[in-house]
Amino acid sequence: MTNEKWLEEITGRVSTDAPEREPITVTAPATDEPIGQIPRCTDDDVAAAVSRAQAAQSEWIEFDPAERAAILEDFGDLVLERREELLDLVQLETGKARAHAVEELLDVPTTCSYYASRAESILADQTRDGAFPLATDATVTKKPVGVVGVISPWNYPLTLSITDAVPALLAGNAVVLKPDEKTPFIALALAELLAKAGLPDGVFEVVTGDGSVVGPALVDRVDYVAFTGSTETGRAVAERAGRNLIDCSLELGGKNPMIVLANANFEEAARGAVQGCFTNAGQLCLAAERLYVESAIYERFLDAFVGETRRLSLGTEVGYGSDVGSLIDDAQLERVEEHVDDAVGRGASVLTGGRARPDVGPFVYEPTILTDVDPDARVAQEETFGPVVTVTPVDGPRAAIEAANDSDYGLNASVWTGDRERGRRLAQEIEAGTVCVNDAYIAGWAATDAPMGGVGDSGLGRRHGPEGIERYLESKTIASSRIGSLAPPSGVPATWTTRSLLAATNVRRRLSRWL
């Protein structure tokens, strides 16, 4: 099937009853030319999609957790089987290098298998201590929240459009997905594969359109929101969710630090920095944008880092030919250029990069290393979200930790050292949701059993791990008494009742210490 035919087919997965909706044209970053069109969904379209999801969820919840897990495992298998087509589509929509597209593709079947293998145990009823030992008991049951709204970004459209949905579906929820309008087709392709895997109609709906219209309409109607995107938009989502008294999880921006200690293998750290700073042309929430290097190895590290960076090849072709691809659009390119120009205007030095490459692609920018950066420069304070990093010498570990924590963000960080245990101790002091030791981000991101998320302006809640599915569940306590009503018998003096309750409380406290 040709790309054009496939795009036309999957566009039919958009949840709208009015195909004549005003279209949005999607363009390829590699060429700035149109790929295709999607409907500009309205408030009514969102309402209809959520209504269908609600109806479907009432049947989906009756599926045994093992049945739901089997469908999601089959979906993971289909993602691997159709990997070449999916990778082509990711490169077409994002302009990223294919090796970086592979990273996000592999995350999908891994996430499916992780939650499929654990769904039954996580969803099982749990026995808890009753109010009075032997006389009462308590059981906690977990039920899906209902319909989950997922709002996904453009930078990792394959994994981030679906891996938040997988645990929600396994928990028995329906999902309505709003992908970014820059990268909708990969989400629609995944919706098609979910249907092929056996997911019932209506359980996974996709609405496309302007974020300013579809986003609020979705938050106003669903029972939970999982959002990945900018801190500014995340605040608006959280505020709206709060007004609706629904919960949300938010993975937002980052200004992630990387610390290189004097006892680190500086060549290995330099290779790690290249990966951590320039994967997906720096358009990665986990990317390192601030490097702090102990003075004793600063010059050697810098030479190695610059050398590794200059060896990176730029390109926008489909395939494995290039190391670094394109930025997503002209707005992102403009942001990167403004950050670099501002830093240079304040006295920063450009050791490599520092310029756009229209000869390679309309939005390609060279991997850039800056030193001598003014602390008040935009590139030092704001998330750049591009292939730009600042490198600063520090006097020692304490100075590095203080510099790393001098930020409102707290998503990801890394520590490079020849003493891994020391690195783990320092990691405890860094204010971030994830800290990797001797790795840039993959060791943390790929640890699917461990929660991933941010602190401060980097967000709320966690994906991955048991926490990643528990956020989509409501807990209910069912407590019972083996001796009937615990109310005091009629006519018993209050003083006697008080003495009995005090005695029971003391017994309970003693038992809790022994058990």
State the pLDDT confidence band at 416, using cuts at 50, 70 and 90.
very high
pLDDT of residue 509: 75
What is the arithmetic mean of pLDDT over 75-91? 97
Q: Superfamily assignment of 256-449 in CATH?
A: Aldehyde Dehydrogenase; Chain A, domain 2 (3.40.309.10)
> Confidence band (pLDDT; 50, 70, 90) for 244?
very high
Q: Which residues are part of the catalytic machinery?
A: 251, 285
Confidence of residue 2 (pLDDT cuts 50, 70, 90): very low
More confident residue, 75 or 482: 75
pLDDT at 1: 41
* Mean per-residue pLDDT over the chain, rounded: 95
All residues at 6 or more sequence positions from 437 whose CB lies less than 8 Å from its CB, including other chains: 414, 415, 416, 417, 420, 423, 424, 427, 443
Domain ranges of the chain: 3-252+465-474, 256-449
Give mean pLDDT, residues 288-315: 98
- Residue-level pLDDT at 49: 97
Name all contacts of 7-11 with Cβ < 8 Å and 24+ positions apart. 7/35, 7/36, 7/185, 8/36, 9/192, 10/185, 10/188, 10/189, 10/191, 10/192, 11/36, 11/37, 11/38, 11/39, 11/185, 11/188
DSSP assigned state of 458 = G
Residue type at 87?
Answer: L
Express each pLDDT in 433-487 by its tens digit: 999 999 999 999 999 999 999 999 999 999 999 999 999 999 999 999 898 887 7
Q: Residue 391 has what pLDDT?
A: 98
Please determine, for residue 11, whether its predicted confidence score (pLDDT) is greater than 90.
no
> To the nearest whole percent, how much of the chain has pLDDT over 90?
87
- What is the CATH architecture assignment of 3-252+465-474? 3-Layer(aba) Sandwich (3.40)
User: What is the DSSP code string of 27-84?
Assistant: EETTTTEEEEEEE---HHHHHHHHHHHHHHHHHHTTS-HHHHHHHHHHHHHHHHHTHH
Residue 6: per-residue pLDDT: 73
Give the C-alpha separation, 200 to 218, whole Å: 21
Q: Is the pLDDT of residue 172 over 80?
A: yes
